Amino acid sequence: MGNKEEFRDTIATADDKGKRLWVFPKKPSGRFYEYRKYVSYVLLIILFAAPFVKINGNQFMMFNILERRFNIFGFPFWPQDFHIFVIMMVIGVVFIILFTVAFGRIFCGWFCPQTIFMEMVFRRIEYWIEGDRGKQMRLEKQDWNAEKIRKRSLKWFLFFIISFLIANVFLAYLMGSDRLIQYVTDGPLNHLSTFISLLIFTAVFYFVFAWFREQVCVIACPYGRLQGVLLDNKSIVVAYDHKRGEKKKGRAKFKKNEDRSAAGKGDCIDCFQCVQVCPTGIDIRNGTQLECINCTACIDACDNMMEAVDLPKGLIRYASEENIEKKAKFRITPRLKGYSIVLGILTAVLVGILFIRSDVEARILRLPGQLYERKAENIISNVYTYKLVNKTTADFEDIEFRLLSHRGKIMPVKQSNILVPGQELTEGTLFIEIHTAALEEEKERLKIGIYSGERLIETTSTMFMGPRSFN
């Protein structure tokens, strides 16, 4: 058993001195690779288009961390909506956990941008320029002759261009596509610091896709590290059917016209196609491993071999440990039910919050350090600052503050046509005056309506201070 588990002590992409072993995966081909190509085309279009598409004037997706402005599916979120953003993040995490418990690293193989770019963009360019695994290995070993210089420089140049493009799109997510286009039109020298950031992002993407590659999934990605706690023997993962592959006498090379079953040999013909095709350099026949990103390349490779030797496909397939050991069918476990309930509750909370979320956020706060002022005819006055955030793209004009809970007056310092432009914030100062006859306590909560013309756009509350005794 000890020897069998030895592979878990090392990673396939480093030798015993810790030196990187470069992976030259064979070009996959087969049913799943074709499906993954289509999925990747759709995701790449979404990824590149999302910061440039607008809905009601709002960028479809934007994560402007510096200015704390976020757009998700065209809905703008302000710092005041941070709780919504947090709930969305938690929903995302629970959703991924639920999926991982049920279907292993399906996200990594099919949807993760790292895999999509690595396997469906950069790797395919590599195959196109340098050829398949064998040719790439030969090129690596050969001296720097004209062919190697030509192929490598073309590859690195294209890698740089694509990294530069990705960095631009990344910036469009971070600072908004309008501003990015504006900066491009103005020229890089007019926005030098942004241009330097762009080059740094380009360098990072180039480093990741030209050199670091599968190490992101193997050692850097925290989600990959989580697999150990999330997966159980009921999770459906890309798995080798060791029962069928090994049988009594284990795997053995293929011999024509041999009855393998009668000889007690397993269906695995030890062709190593599944190993050669693996982008993380592992042997799936050793069992589920943290390095496996569930890319399905080994399923395709093995199916092709099984077809060639006239054995049933599916020796490597999507299956759970329980399914392979006991031929048990997929079941919804209590753990899955638990995660589903949590996900359902969080989603309901989010929908509820989105439903009651108003277009305008208003905050009226007493000016710090100021008490009240007693004016003539027993009028008490408090001074406030107000902040109005317009979360829509339309302007709100003729803003008026009306006291809803008490009889009294609200007098903004700026008296006429207070305007809150779309997606902007307006601040100012106002006074509230109330007759002592309308006050019962030293401190009272006031309810204030904010109107645009005659339309009530938000209500808010604030505290009003008066004298201890009203006489």
Q: Applying CB under 6 A, which residues contact ligand SF4?
A: 238, 240, 245, 268-274, 277-280, 282, 284-285, 292-298, 301-302, 305, 315-316
User: 100 or 423, CB closer to ligand SF4?
Assistant: 100
- Tokens of residue 67, six digits: 């200015």
Smallest gap from residue 1 Cβ to ligand SF4 (A): 21
Smallest separation, CB 28 to ligand SF4 (Å): 8
CB of 129 to ligand SF4, least distance (A): 22
Nearer to ligand SF4, 315 or 430 (CB): 315
Cβ at position 113, least distance to ligand SF4 in Å: 17
Nearest to 340 by CA among 89, 94, 107, 104: 94
**Toward ligand SF4, which CB reaches closer, 31 or 447?**
31
CB of 289 to ligand SF4, least distance (A): 7
Closest CB 26 distance from ligand SF4, rounded Å: 10
Nearer to ligand SF4, 36 or 391 (CB): 36
Sign of CA pseudo-dihedral 192, 198, 200, 206: negative
Q: Which is nearer to ligand SF4, 30 or 176 (CB)?
A: 30
DSSP label of 28 = P
Are residues 29 and 132 in contact, defined by beta-carbon separation less than 8 angstroms?
Answer: no
Smallest distance, ligand SF4 to C-beta of residue 418, A: 60
Residues 82, 88, 93, 94, CA torsion sign: positive
Q: How far is the CB of 24 from ligand SF4 (least distance, A)?
A: 13
CA distances from residue 163 to 117, 168, 183, 199 in whole angstroms, order as listed: 10, 9, 19, 10
Token pair listed for 432: 């509230």
Class of residue 468 by CB neighbours under 10 A (exposed 0-12, middle 13-18, buried 19+): exposed
Which residue, 114, 97, 3, is CA-closest to 338?
A: 97
CB of 333 to ligand SF4, least distance (A): 23
Give whichever of 289 and 393 is closer to ligand SF4, judged by the CB atom: 289
62: exposed, middle or buried (C-beta count within 10 Å: 0-12, 13-18, 19+)? buried
Max Cα-Cα span within the chain: 112
Helix 31-49 and helix 297-308, axial crossing angle in degrees, nearest 10: 160
Residue closer to ligand SF4 (CB basis): 285 or 391 = 285
Specify the residue, 300 or 361, whose C-beta has the smaller distance to ligand SF4: 300
User: Using CA atoms, how far apart are residues 369 and 348, in angstroms rounded to an integer?
Assistant: 42
Q: Which is nearer to ligand SF4, 136 or 382 (CB)?
A: 136
- Give the 3-state DSSP-derived string for 266-331, with helices as H, strands as E and coil as C: CCCCCCCHHHHCCCCCCCHHHCCCCCCCCCCHHHHHHHHHHHHCCCCCCCEEEECHHHHHHCCCCC
